[in-house]
Amino acid sequence: MILKRLSTYIQTQQRVDEVTLLTHFHLKQNGLAPMIEMLIRSGHVQKTVSSRGDRLPALVFYSWQQNQVIPMTVLL
């Protein structure tokens, strides 16, 4: 059930950062990771990791793709 809610939330927002997902669904990183991996494998969710240098943590975004795509993670 939470997987469907997570998928619907990403689809509605079109692009959402990981911190927002963690706070909105009251999850920890190790709880979110397996669900996101399942959504990425489905082909509708794409993960983007934006590196911000050596001293700042990377920003992670998830975006919804209307058409199924090859599951992938983009590193910027």
Q: What CATH number is associated with residue 59?
A: 1.10.10
Q: What is the pTM (predicted TM-score) of this model?
A: 0.85
Tokens of 42: 């489905």
pLDDT at 30: 95
The confidence score (pLDDT) of residue 12 equals 96
Average pLDDT for runs of 10 along the chain of length 76 = 93 96 95 94 92 88 89 73
**What is the pLDDT, as a whole number, of residue 24?**
95
Distance CA 47, CA 70 (A): 12
In angstroms, the CA 76 to CA 73 distance is 10
Specify the number of domains making up the chain: 1
Exposure letters 21-37 (e unless 16+ CB within 10 A, then b): beeeeebeeeebeebbe
pLDDT at position 76 is 66
Range of the domain at 28: 2-75
Determine the pLDDT at residue 47: 92
Q: Where are the alpha helices (DSSP H) in 1-76?
A: 2-13, 18-24, 29-42
Whole-number pLDDT of residue 28: 95
